[in-house]
Amino acid sequence: MDNSRTPTSVKLFDLTGKTACVTGASSGLGRHVASFLARNGVTVIGIARRKEQLSEWQASVPNKTYALTADLSDKAILADIASQVIETVGNPDILINAAGINTRQTGDDVTPEAWAVTLDLNLTAPFFLAQSFVPGMKEKKWGRIVNFASLQTYRAFPGGIAYGATKAGIAQVTRAMAEDWSRYGITANAIAPGFFNTELTAAVFADTELSESNAAQTCIGRNGELSDLDGPIQFLCSNASSYVTGQVLAVDGGFTAK
């Protein structure tokens, strides 16, 4: 894009030439966001545990993309993964922390193992990946960190005690990231999606009555479509949001407004 001939309003949202690291890129919201960024001029390195699905994502996007297979719930490898990202695409301008797990265990059934893997993937990995990329963002005096929160950041759902705890934590770690790093030109925000039909929520959408009930709970009257994420992601990853940091944006059709 020739920025010299582009209206200022468009320049604000332009992502051309940026680099992004997107976790959870093999499926669901992470895959959609990784594809959206790649189709909008961003060089994207996607990280996920499942090699085959990640390769399928990479093949589906004609733009410059890279794939890195890793289990981010293993906190011992996070520093090495960050180094591999930097070696491949340079220090990313944008970090999207979309990888997550929901074991859907009730309070009586939560095991130490399930609690630990939920905490490590949903909360530990986002922070330490960000910490690894912040020095490079500081050098550029520009960076965007977008974490994925949830409806369970605000509300308790059945079988969601471990997941909800981590998503409430994401809201606070996002604010703390902003407090620490935004003076260097790095914004940190989070998106809290409502109900989107993905692999993670397949059980919810398989129950027609429950799915319709969730849609009725929104102000708009429907569940989310993947394209509903495009505008918020472009906003939070671009110069348009340069004075927005430490915020959690609910992309939920007004579910939490009622």
Region class of 218: left (phi > 0), else alpha (psi between -120 and 50), else beta: beta
Sign of the Cα torsion 14, 20, 26, 27 reads negative
Q: What is the Cα–Cα distance from 207 to 2, expressed in whole angstroms?
A: 49
Residue 223: burial class (beta carbons within 10 Å; 0-12, 13-18, 19+) = buried
208: how many CB neighbours lie within 10 A of its CB?
8
Catalytic residue among 154, 163, 184, 243: 163
Measuring CA to CA, how many Å separate 34 from each of 22, 81, 135? Answer: 6, 18, 23
Q: Is 184 a catalytic residue?
A: no
Virtual CA dihedral for 136, 139, 142, 147, nearest 10 degrees?
A: 30
> Which strands sit side by side in the sheet containing 43-48, from one edge to the other?
65-69, 43-48, 19-23, 94-97, 143-148, 186-193, 248-251
Residues annotated as catalytic are: 163
